[in-house]
């Protein structure tokens, strides 16, 4: 889904942010406020509700979910194009373990790499 997202499509970006919350083990809840609903995220079991983080648009939100022991590097191989790739390394493995396709923003490229790293960690811990 990340590969096909248009950064100007805020509805799709918001949906992707909600899917990241689920992937991380969080829960989305709707709260009724007067005549409208507000989307809230339970912060992973703490019982504290915060607005859904904008993983698709915030480097700070991405820093909060980077797996321990990984380093990420974002590159724009052609400065005339606005496409970014992200590579990731696990310090313990000492070789490149993650790479992304070219994506339209740095945040989407890093999010793609972070999801791969988290999935890799989940797979290796379950073995």
> H or E segment at 40?
strand 36-42
The pLDDT tens digits of the residues spanning 65-116 come to: 998 888 888 888 766 777 888 888 877 765 557 889 889 999 999 999 999 9
Residue in this structure with the two tokens 């724009």, named with its chain if needed: 76
Domain layout of the chain by residue ranges: 2-126
So what's the pLDDT on residue 62?
A: 93
Which pLDDT belongs to residue 123? 84
- Calpha distance 60→66 (Å, rounded): 10
Backbone dihedral angles phi then psi of residue 101, each to the nearest 5 degrees: -70, 170
- Pick from 14-23, 32-41, 72-81, 97-106: least confident: 32-41
Q: 54 with 82: CB under 8 angstroms?
A: no
pLDDT at position 49, please? 54
Mean pLDDT computed over every residue of the chain = 79
What pLDDT does residue 115 have? 93
Question: Which residue in the block uniquely carries the two structure tokens 């496409």?
Answer: 83
| pTM reported for the whole predicted model | 0.78
């Amino acid at each position: 889904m990340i590969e096909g997202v248009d950064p100007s499509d805020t509805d799709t970006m918001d949906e992707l942010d909600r899917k990241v919350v689920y992937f991380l083990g969080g829960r989305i809840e709707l709260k009724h406020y007067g005549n409208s609903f507000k989307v809230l995220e339970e912060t992973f079991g703490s019982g504290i509700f915060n607005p859904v983080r904008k993983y698709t648009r915030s480097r700070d939100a991405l820093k909060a979910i980077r797996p321990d022991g990984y380093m990420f590097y974002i590159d724009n191989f052609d400065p005339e194009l606005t496409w970014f790739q992200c590579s990731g390394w696990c310090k313990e493995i000492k070789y490149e373990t993650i790479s992304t396709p070219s994506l339209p923003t740095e945040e989407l490229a890093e999010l793609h790499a972070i999801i791969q790293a988290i999935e890799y960690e989940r797979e290796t811990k379950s073995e």
